[in-house]
């Protein structure tokens, strides 16, 4: 089973990416709010993949 907290963080970054239209900025904001530096790869990969879905 995947880490639920990580799934929530990636969802937060995905939502914030949709609002600000900048995946890198959204990932850095959530990273700084949660102080979970071990999840930087997932936080950057998640929203980049999510931006490709609506196209």
pLDDT tens-place string over residues 3-54? 888 888 888 888 888 888 888 888 888 889 888 888 888 888 877 777 677 6
CA–CA dist 31, 11 (Å, integer): 13
Residue 7 counted as domain residue: no
- Long-range contact pairs involving 35-39 (C-beta distance under 8 Å, separation at least 24): 36/5, 36/9, 39/6, 39/9
Residue 1 counted as domain residue: no
Q: What's the domain count of the chain?
A: 1
Residue 12 counted as domain residue: no
Residue 31 counted as domain residue: yes
Q: Which residue has the higher pLDDT, 39 or 2?
A: 39
Residue 10's CB: how many other CB atoms inside 10 A?
Answer: 23
* pLDDT computed for residue 55 by the predictor: 61
Residue 38 counted as domain residue: yes
Nearest in space to 27 (alpha carbons), one of 54, 47, 4, 2: 47
With a cut of 60, say whether residue 1 has pLDDT above it.
Answer: no
């Amino acid at each position: 089973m995947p880490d639920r907290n990580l799934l929530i963080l990636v969802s937060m970054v995905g939502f914030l990416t949709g609002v600000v239209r900048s995946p890198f900025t959204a990932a850095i904001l959530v990273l700084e709010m949660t102080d979970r530096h071990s999840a930087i790869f997932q936080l950057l990969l998640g929203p980049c993949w999510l931006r490709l879905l609506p196209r």
